Amino acid sequence: MESTQSPGAEGPPAAPPAAATPDDPPGARFLAGRTALVTGAASGIGRACAVALAEAGAAVYVVDIAADAAKEVAAEIGGTCCVTDLADPAAVDALPDDADIVVNNAGLQHIAPVHEFPPERFALIQRVMVEAPFRILRRTLPHMYAGGWGRVVNISSVHGLRASPYKSAYVVAKHALEGLSKTVALEAAPHGVTSNCINPGYVRTPLVEDQIATQAVAHGIPEADVVTRVMLERTAIKRLIEPVEVAAAALWFCSPHTGYITGASLPLDGGWTAH
Ligand code: NAD
Judged against a pLDDT cut of 70, whether residue 57 lies above it is answered with yes
Does residue 177 fall inside a structural domain? yes
User: According to the model, what pLDDT value does residue 8 have?
Assistant: 42
User: CA-CA distance, 48 to 132, in Å (whole number)?
Assistant: 20
Mean per-residue pLDDT over the chain, rounded:
92
Judged against a pLDDT cut of 70, whether residue 20 lies above it is answered with no
| DSSP secondary structure of 24-65 | SPTTTTTTTT-EEEEETTTSHHHHHHHHHHHHTT-EEEEEES
- Is residue 143 within 8 Å of 99, Cβ to Cβ? yes
260 classed as catalytic: no
Distance 236 CA to ligand 1 centre (A): 24
Atom of ligand 1 nearest to the CA of 174: 34
What is the mean predicted confidence (pLDDT) over 55-61? 98
Does residue 28 fall inside a structural domain? no
User: According to the model, what pLDDT value does residue 175 have?
Assistant: 99
Comparing 16-30, 91-105, 117-131, which segment has the lowest mean pLDDT? 16-30
User: CA-CA distance, 235 to 188, in Å (whole number)?
Assistant: 34
User: According to the model, what pLDDT value does residue 18 have?
Assistant: 47
Supply the range of the domain harboring residue 184: 35-205+242-268
Which CATH number covers residue 73? 3.40.50.720
E strands along the chain, which residues? 35-39, 59-64, 80-83, 101-104, 150-155, 193-200, 265-268
Does residue 100 fall inside a structural domain? yes
User: According to the model, what pLDDT value does residue 211 have?
Assistant: 85
- pTM value is 0.92
User: Any idea what DSSP says for residue 99?
Assistant: -
Whose alpha carbon is nearest atom 41 of ligand 1? 203
What is the number of structural domains in the chain? Answer: 1
Atom of ligand 1 nearest to the CA of 39: 21
Judged against a pLDDT cut of 50, whether residue 245 lies above it is answered with yes
Q: What is the pLDDT of residues 108-135, one digit of tens each?
A: 999 999 999 999 999 999 999 999 999 9
**Which H or E element spans position 119?**
helix 119-126
Distance 111 CA to ligand 1 centre (A): 15
Nearest to 203 by CA among 144, 137, 247: 247
Nearest to 241 by CA among 200, 206, 199, 203: 203
Comparing 105-114, 183-192, 218-227, which segment has the lowest mean pLDDT? 218-227
CA distances from 35 to 42, 58, 82 (A): 17, 5, 14
User: CA-CA distance, 162 to 267, in Å (whole number)?
Assistant: 11
Does residue 10 fall inside a structural domain? no
User: According to the model, what pLDDT value does residue 10 have?
Assistant: 45
Does residue 25 fall inside a structural domain? no
Atom of ligand 1 nearest to the CA of 69: 9
* Active-site entry in 61, 145, 166, 170: 170
Q: What is the dihedral of CA 217, 221, 225, 227, to 10 degrees?
A: -40
Atom of ligand 1 nearest to the CA of 1: 18
- Count Cα atoms within 13 angstroms, Cβ side, for 207: 24
Does residue 41 fall inside a structural domain? yes
Distance 265 CA to ligand 1 centre (A): 18
Distance 274 CA to ligand 1 centre (A): 25
* Top mutation candidate among 203, 214, 230, 241 for ligand 1, by most atoms within 8 Å of CB: 203
Q: What is the pLDDT of residues 195-224, one digit of tens each?
A: 999 999 999 998 888 888 888 888 899 988
Does residue 162 fall inside a structural domain? yes
User: According to the model, what pLDDT value does residue 26 have?
Assistant: 64
User: For residue 40, is it left (φ>0), alpha (ψ between -120 and 50) or beta?
Assistant: left
Q: How much of the chain exceeds pLDDT 90, in percent?
A: 81
Judged against a pLDDT cut of 70, whether residue 9 lies above it is answered with no
Q: Which strand ranges, in their side-by-side order, compose the sheet holding 150-155? A: 80-83, 59-64, 35-39, 101-104, 150-155, 193-200, 265-268
Pocket of ligand 1 (CB under 6 A): 1, 40, 42-46, 64-66, 84-87, 105-108, 128, 155, 157, 200, 202-203, 205-208
Distance 258 CA to ligand 1 centre (A): 25
User: According to the model, what pLDDT value does residue 120 have?
Assistant: 98
User: According to the model, what pLDDT value does residue 11 have?
Assistant: 42
User: According to the model, what pLDDT value does residue 218 have?
Assistant: 85
Q: How confident is the model at residue 22 (pLDDT cuts 50, 70, 90)?
A: low
User: CA-CA distance, 60 to 226, in Å (whole number)?
Assistant: 36
Q: What is the dihedral of CA 43, 110, 126, 273, to 10 degrees?
A: 80
Atom of ligand 1 nearest to the CA of 203: 40
Q: Which residue has the higher pLDDT, 16 or 172?
A: 172
E strands along 51-192, which residues? 59-64, 80-83, 101-104, 150-155
What is the mean predicted confidence (pLDDT) over 156-178? 98
* Top mutation candidate among 37, 45, 240 for ligand 1, by most atoms within 8 Å of CB: 45
3-state DSSP assignment of residue 21: coil
* Top mutation candidate among 39, 43, 199 for ligand 1, by most atoms within 8 Å of CB: 43
Does residue 167 fall inside a structural domain? yes
Distance 24 CA to ligand 1 centre (A): 31
